[in-house]
């Protein structure tokens, strides 16, 4: 145990002084009683009960004083605090390259098992949502506490063509802030740009209603939600992942990125076509850096499981140095009440 005001501990020298004062008062009272009282009657009045009970209330009071002095020194200790994060969004790559079998039985199966293990490790009060992205991104499961529903969603993944990492970030942000409208540089078709279904039937030529500009916050300052993005390939369509990361940073949301697979890549046959799935580690590292998240790289099923285990330690309740003076003060109050109660019970007054 450490103290913020250790100099106040010198007050503890009062404790032995109080003990000496107590015994001095006892001896003085005893001498006075013996001077004026009949000795046989005094012994009968004192009886056995007073031999030790009379010392209990003062001892408890002395303990309370000691605890209060220690509390004045402001003790601190490592205390486990509940995580402030209430929502975790898993944004997972379901592009055709996840069919690769270099991580048996397949990259997709390994990612699914690791994600389910990660979900099981989270506190029961943390809501988890799931976004799947390939050439487009889709919210597969809104944030929920139902772990069985999350497992069923993960098991239902269907592989598709394309890899829109930026869309995976945007869809996750839209899940965290459902009332916000996210825009990243116009393209010919907003559905291609965002990787999301268009929410409006109006033409791009129609004037957009003016909305007040949102003031950006400090990157990483939003503590109620976090995004964990996993991909095994490079962006082939959709919005720029770096621009999407900057948007997440403006909202203060951290994006932890997980690169699954080797930088050399692997050739995969999907839909009658051969493709090379090659990890874009620099982009994922930049996404994490921009949002003050962390980048992890896993080149095996075991490594991926370890990555998720590491992420769990980042998100579950953390240990912090916390002042505990209020705990000692509370105990001191209870001890004082006990001392007064015993004194009234045994002697009919507070001695």
- 221-239 tens-digit pLDDT: 888 899 999 998 888 899 9
| Beta-ladder partners of 141 | 130
Task: Give the containing element (helix H, strand E) for 289.
Answer: helix 281-290
DSSP 239: S
Task: Give the containing element (helix H, strand E) for 325.
Answer: helix 325-347
Asked whether 251 and 237 are in contact (CB, 8 A), the reply is: no
Residue 153 CA to residue 241 CA, distance in Å, equals 25
More confident residue, 118 or 193: 118
DSSP letters of 36-72? HS-HHHHHHHHTTTHHHHTTHHHHHHHHHHHHHHHHH
Four-residue CA torsion sign, 336, 338, 339, 343: positive
Residue 202 has pLDDT above 50, yes or no: no
From 56-60, 114-118, 130-134, 181-185, the region with the lowest mean pLDDT: 181-185
Place of tokens 């270099």: 102
DSSP 291: T
Residue 184: the pLDDT is: 65
pLDDT digits (tens, 9 = 90+) for 118-156: 999 888 888 999 999 999 999 999 999 999 999 999 999
Q: Mean pLDDT across the stretch 245-268? A: 83
Residue 30 has pLDDT above 80, yes or no: no
Residue 328: the pLDDT is: 87
More confident residue, 265 or 184: 184
Asked whether 127 and 315 are in contact (CB, 8 A), the reply is: no
Four-residue CA torsion sign, 28, 29, 31, 36: positive
Residue 290: the pLDDT is: 96
Strand, helix or coil at 275?
A: strand
Residue 197: the pLDDT is: 41
Residue 268: the pLDDT is: 61
- Sketch out the chain's domains with CATH numbers: 2-79+321-347 (no CATH), 87-184+216-316 (3.40.50.410)
Percent helix / strand / coil, the chain, rounded to 5: 45, 20, 35
Strand, helix or coil at 241?
A: helix
Q: Indicate the pairing of strand 127-133 with strand 87-93.
A: parallel
Asked whether 68 and 332 are in contact (CB, 8 A), the reply is: yes
């Amino acid at each position: 145990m450490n103290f913020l005001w250790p100099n106040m501990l010198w007050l503890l020298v009062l404790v032995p002084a109080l003990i000496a004062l107590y015994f001095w008062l006892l001896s003085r009272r005893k001498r006075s009683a013996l001077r004026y009282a009949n000795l046989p009657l005094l012994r009968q009045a004192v009886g056995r009960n007073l031999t030790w009970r009379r010392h209990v209330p003062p001892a408890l009071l002395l303990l309370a004083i000691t605890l209060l002095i220690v509390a004045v020194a402001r003790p601190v200790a490592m205390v486990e605090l509940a995580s402030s994060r209430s929502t975790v969004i898993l944004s997972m790559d379901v592009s055709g390259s996840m069919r690769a079998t270099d991580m048996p039985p397949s990259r997709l199966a390994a990612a699914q098992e690791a994600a389910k293990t990660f979900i099981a490790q989270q506190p029961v009060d943390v809501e988890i949502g799931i976004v799947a992205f390939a050439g487009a991104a889709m919210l597969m499961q809104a944030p929920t506490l139902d772990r069985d529903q999350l497992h069923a969603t993960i098991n239902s993944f269907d592989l598709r063509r394309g890899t829109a990492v930026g869309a995976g970030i945007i869809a996750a942000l839209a899940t965290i802030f459902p009332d916000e409208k996210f825009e990243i540089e116009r393209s010919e078709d907003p559905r291609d740009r965002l990787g999301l279904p268009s929410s409006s039937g109006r033409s791009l030529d129609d004037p957009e209603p003016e909305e007040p500009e949102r003031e950006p916050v400090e990157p990483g300052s939003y503590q109620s939600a976090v995004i964990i993005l996993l991909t095994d390939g490079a962006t082939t369509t959709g919005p720029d992942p770096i621009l999407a990361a900057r948007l997440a940073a403006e909202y203060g949301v951290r994006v932890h990125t997980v690169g699954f697979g080797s930088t050399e890549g692997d050739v995969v046959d999907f839909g009658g076509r051969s493709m090379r799935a090659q990890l874009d580690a620099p982009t994922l590292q930049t996404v994490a850096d921009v949002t003050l998240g962390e980048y992890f790289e896993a080149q095996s099923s075991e490594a991926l499981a370890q990555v998720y285990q590491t992420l769990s330690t980042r998100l579950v309740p953390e240990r912090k140095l916390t002042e505990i003076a209020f705990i000692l003060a509370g105990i001191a109050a209870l001890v004082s009440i006990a001392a007064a109660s015993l004194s009234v019970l045994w002697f009919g007054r507070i001695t």
